[in-house]
Amino acid sequence: MSKKVLANDGISQSGVDALVAAGYEVITTNVAQEQLEKYINDKEIAVLLVRSATTVRKALIDACPSLKIIGRGGVGMDNIDVDYARSKGLKVINTPAASSASVAELVFAHLYGGVRFLYDSNRNMPLEGDENFKGLKKQYAKGIELRGKTIGIIGIGRIGQEVAKIAAGVGMNVIAHDSFAKEAPTVSWNLFDGQTINVEIPLVSKDHLLTQSDFISLHVPAQKDYVLGATEFQKMKKGAVVVNAARGGVLDEVALVAALENEHLSFAALDVFETEPKPEIQLLMNSKLSLSPHIGAATNEAQDRIGVELADQIKEILG
């Protein structure tokens, strides 16, 4: 049986090392989508590893009989026809836990940058800092603290729980809504001195979360309907903040811009977009948006964990 692995969107060196040590040949060539079928068949690839750039649909699955495993380095698998692949006897794997802490830290990078206007001051200081220092100082002088505020987390899975840990540590009031959670989760983490902290996160209705939260962070999978749209934005507190580091399409971007423009929301942060890789210009140019290019999982530590986790699963399946 072939022991060739094509990591088409890359894999960490630690993942490569683990696979090579187990006798696998790891290919990290980035093959264009339209050439992928021929490459897989010519090389008799057994394992195809992707991230978000490469799609694995029915046609590719049907055309590549050598494939045994499709792996997604990350959480969401909306770029893979998962059910169909499994119906054809392929194993489909991902790494749901590896990047959770990285995404949560990015959420708070956006939140801290937002409440102190850093996303805007970093644009304007290079342009006006030498001639309008006092004016900018006055413009950005009304920041707020996160401590003591309420954060509502929609989706309290692995990533949502990591967000809850940071929020609790900061001194925020944490509430959550999750359509699938049956009981309030308890999150726990270790401090630098060995102490363990345990905090129960109360589950509330979606309406309660919308009306009571100062900050709302989305951590839900891709789905057909918007989780947050015009109706939900209107229910939020005036001056509330929304962060989406989950998936593009779970939030109505047109309605979000409207809520920012009429000053119902004070600012918002987006790491993901409906029209990736070409976000709408109205988002890119909006001065009340803190933006990043889908980098939630993109830390060196997360990529190391993803590579090792994929390697472990491949070895367990194929030996």
For the annotated catalytic residues, the residue numbers are: 247, 276, 294
The gap from C-alpha 158 to its chain's centroid, in whole angstroms, comes to 11
Note the CATH number of domain 100-291.
Answer: 3.40.50.720
What residues contact 156, with CB distance under 8 A and at least 6 apart?
164, 176, 177, 178, 181, 185, 201, 203, 219
Cβ atoms within 10 Å, residue 264: 15
pLDDT of res. 52: 84
At residue 96, the pLDDT reads 87
Tens-level pLDDT at each residue, the chain (319 residues): 689 999 999 999 999 999 999 999 999 999 999 999 999 999 999 999 999 889 999 999 999 999 999 999 988 898 999 999 999 999 999 998 899 999 999 999 999 999 999 999 999 999 999 999 999 999 999 999 999 999 999 999 999 999 999 999 999 999 999 999 989 999 999 999 999 999 999 999 999 999 999 999 999 988 899 999 999 999 999 999 999 999 999 999 999 999 999 999 999 999 999 999 999 999 999 999 999 999 999 999 999 999 999 999 999 999 8
> Is the separation of the CB atoms in 174 and 147 below 8 Å?
no
Closest by CA to 40, choosing from 83, 12, 2, is 2
> Domain map of the chain by residue range?
4-95+300-318, 100-291
Residue written as token pair 């030996």: 319
Question: What pLDDT does 154 receive?
Answer: 98
One-letter amino acid of 4: K
Angle at CA of residue 105, ends 99 and 108, nearest 5°: 145
Decide: 5 and 46 in contact? Cβ < 8 Å: yes
The pLDDT value given to residue 74: 86
What single-letter amino acid sits at 168?
A
CATH 3.40.50.720 describes domain 4-95+300-318: yes
Distance CA 64, CA 121 (A): 51
Q: How many residues does the chain have?
A: 319
Element (H, E) at 257: helix 253-261
* Model pLDDT, residue 319: 81
